[in-house]
Amino acid sequence: MNKRILITGGAGFIGSNLSRKLISLGYDVTVLDNLNSQVHGNDPAFTSPLFNTLPKEVLFIRGSVTDRKLLEGIIAEQDAIIHLAAETGTGQSMYEIERYNNVNIGGTALLLDILTNKTHRVKKMIVASSRAIYGEGKYYNKKLGAIFPNAREDKNLLAGNFEVTYPGCNTPIELRPTDEESKIHPTSVYGITKQVQEQLVMTVCPAIGIQPVAFRYQNVYGPGQSLSNPYTGILSIFSTRLLQGKSINIFEDGLESRDFVYIDDVVDATILGLEKEEASGMVFNVGSGIPTTVIEVVKTLMQAYDVVVPVKISGNYRLGDIRHNYADLTRIQEKLGYEAKVSFKQGIANFTSWVKSQELSADRYDESLQEMKEKGLFK
């Protein structure tokens, strides 16, 4: 493959790290990013460690994936597109529905419309999908086999019954790693938009001679992630509160779990998808394959920062959140030779060391929860 690469959303957490690696490998990288203030602050030149770590060799263009004229001028000379641009945040998506759809679905549709109807030389397109499309993920029951529970009901959460249930199932259900053949049934607007992004790319690209690849990223973390975005990223949110001496509110019972995958592993997986022919036409999970509970996250962070603050396991919950999900990595291991190399312990050590070197912005987490509460989505 020739080496002119467009990364949409390329000044974000994944994109900025990916840009640096691609430049080091000899790629010619163009980054398109609108420098959303929610992620980059009000003055990115001073408030965004992500934007400021883009290599000088990158051609940076400030703009939106919803701008047809801008996209048409950029796409024509690219050999591949890595489409990362998206509004992120499960909770926020539940009340900023139009914005999430306009950017995530509309921007992807516009990219594909241009690729279908304009002259270009793009041969591969990678889309950043998400574990959010799986909803509550995969479980197992001795009588029924593999099952895929629906979203948890408000009445059960309100009563403190946080684990998932399955209709007509009177025997225990066991959490399993979620593979790529699992049921797609997102529980949030964000998850729906990522599902549609993926399906658009995987459907349209083969029809117009472009090789598509979709990566369903789990919870990506590491040095460089936004510390100012109060809507997503519990490692950043908890870190900010810990270092400012504020209490931690752990939702539900603290036993909800996520698959945390270190940024370097995500970058490596994405480049494998770009460079390996075996990736073409495929969908892959990208994670560590290990679930970590929220209680474990808080304990690990307090130990790493050597800070103790009041911690309350409140029973609060957000509608749209899932209980558990972690990735089955069999496909990406067998097809692309991917392995998650950075353990959670080492990754947290790297992350917290970086956080200590940053100037923390005002904590707006309580404000974000109040927004959700006013919409009836946080209880």
Whether 159 is covered by a domain: the verdict is yes
The residue segments making up the domain with residue 330 are 4-374
- Within a domain: 358: yes
- Distance, in Å, from the CA atom of 201 to the CA atom of 188, rounded to the nearest integer, reads 20
- At 228, phi and psi to the nearest 5? -110, -10
Q: Which two tokens stand for residue 352?
A: 């917290």
**Strand locations in the chain, DSSP E?**
4-8, 28-33, 59-62, 80-83, 124-130, 139-141, 145-147, 174-175, 211-217, 219-221, 248-250, 257-262, 282-286, 291-293, 311-313
- Residue corresponding to tokens 């945040």: 89
Q: Is residue 270 part of a domain?
A: yes
Q: Is the pTM of this model over 0.75?
A: yes
Asked whether residue 37 carries a pLDDT value surpassing 80, the answer given is: no
Position 46 scores a pLDDT of 66
Residue 188 lies in a domain: yes
C-alpha closest to that of 35 among 26, 23, 44, 27? 44
How much is the pLDDT for 2? 62
Nearest partner of 88 among 290, 251, 225, 232, judged by Cα:
232
| Residue indicated by tokens 């909770």 | 91
Q: What is the dihedral of CA 317, 230, 198, 85, to 10 degrees?
A: 170
pLDDT score of 28 more than 60: yes
Least confident stretch, 51-60, 137-146, 190-199, 291-300: 51-60
Q: Which residue has the higher pLDDT, 20 or 37?
A: 20
Task: Give the mean pLDDT of 14-19.
Answer: 96
Q: Is residue 379 part of a domain?
A: no
Give the pLDDT confidence of 233-244 residue by residue, as tens digits.
899 999 999 999
How far is it, in rounded angstroms, from Cα 320 to Cα 243? 28
CATH number for position 329: 3.40.50.720
More confident residue, 97 or 1: 97
Catalytic one among 27, 139, 190, 262? 190
What is the percentage of the chain residues whose pLDDT exceeds 90? 84
139 band by pLDDT with thresholds 50, 70 and 90: very high
Active site residue 134: no
Q: How many CA atoms lie within 13 A of 360 on its CB side?
A: 18
In a domain, 122, yes or no: yes
Tokens of 243: 């270092």
Domain assignment present for 294: yes
On whether the CB atoms of residues 91 and 372 are closer than 8 A, the answer is yes
Q: What pLDDT does 362 receive?
A: 77
Average pLDDT value for the chain: 94
Q: Decide: 340 and 265 in contact? Cβ < 8 Å.
A: yes
Task: Say if CB 193 and CB 202 are below 8 A apart.
Answer: no
**Rounded to 5 degrees, what angle do the CA atoms 160, 163, 169 make?**
120
Distance CA(277)–CA(39), nearest Å, equals 34
Q: Which residues pair with 30 in a beta bridge?
A: 6, 59
pLDDT at site 366: 87
**Domain tally, the chain:** 1
**Alpha-carbon dihedral angle through residues 60, 231, 258, 349, given to the nearest 10 degrees:** 60
Backbone torsions φ then ψ of 365, nearest 5 degrees: -65, -45
Q: Which 3 state secondary structure label does DSSP give 286?
A: strand
Tell whether 96 is covered by a domain. yes
Q: How do residues 220-274 score in pLDDT, each as one tens digit?
A: 999 999 888 877 789 999 999 999 999 999 999 999 999 999 999 999 999 999 9
DSSP per-residue letters across 214-248? EEEE-EEE-TTS-SS-TTS-HHHHHHHHHHTT--E
Which residues contact residue 230 at a Cβ distance below 8 angstroms, ignoring those fewer than 6 apart? Answer: 237, 363, 364, 365, 367, 368
Looking at residue 10, the DSSP 8-state letter turns out to be T
pLDDT at 317: 95
**Number of C-beta neighbours around residue 120 at 10 A:** 19
pLDDT tens track for 320-368: 899 999 999 999 999 999 999 999 999 999 999 999 998 887 788 888 8
**Nearest in space to 1 (alpha carbons), one of 111, 121, 84, 118:** 121
- Number of other residues whose CB lies within 10 A of the CB of residue 112: 20
